Amino acid sequence: MEIRELGIAGAWEILPRTWTDPRGVFLEWYRFDRLAEVVGRPLDLAQGNISVSARGVVRGVHFADVPPGQAKYVTCVRGAALDVVVDLRVGSPTYGRWEGVRLDDVRRRAVYLEEGLGHAVCALTDDMTLNYLCSATYNPAAEHAVHPLDPELGIDWPVDDPVLSERDAAAPSLADARAAGILPDHAACRRTVERGPRPAAQGWKGRSL
């Protein structure tokens, strides 16, 4: 697989190699060793989620308190989606910036994002199905959202009338979330990431810094 960092530090696009024959398709959609080699640490798997959405549904922008935060590895196993990473880390050089990656069941791309980054998705097809792995279990008290239609973010959603949940429709703007002190701090995010296990020089053993 090919793994490339996006324009927002801490987010990567994964492009797997696929094998196709008359029987169907085979691919490795996740490799902990290959990912760890590129990003510098393994993804500690704590929870796996499946999300199914109708066309036009927008979910996000969601993020978790840091520490501990929640890293995510996301792919689309049915249909197509625009997956969006938003830099919500106060003090980051790319604070307030977003980047989108098309995920679908044809090219089978995935996105990995570190703790502190915001995540959102827009379903481009009916019954769009996401499969994503998380580094921490769901903790509603530590989960937050920023309004996905906030003009300050300026996310270019590829649907005319995005369908939002009640929670996302009531989410604060980026400015209000920052004023309320709920956005992640960039330095705290870096410390959280750097404390994680790292690859040893010979093979994969993992160690704490």
Half-sphere exposure of residue 130: CA atoms within 13 angstroms, side-chain side: 28
User: Taking a C-beta distance cutoff of 8 angstroms, is the pair 111, 14 a contact?
Assistant: yes
Given the residues 132, 144, 147, 186, select the one marked as catalytic: 132
Active-site residue flag, 132 = yes
Q: Which two tokens stand for residue 91?
A: 């003090």
**Residue 9 exposed, middle or buried by CB count within 10 Å (0-12, 13-18, 19+):** middle
Active-site residue flag, 112 = no
- The 10 Å CB-count burial string (b at 16+, else e) for 57-86 is bbbbbbbbbbeebbbbbbbbebbbbbbbbb
User: Taking a C-beta distance cutoff of 8 angstroms, is the pair 62, 118 a contact?
Assistant: yes
Could you list the active site residues? 62, 132
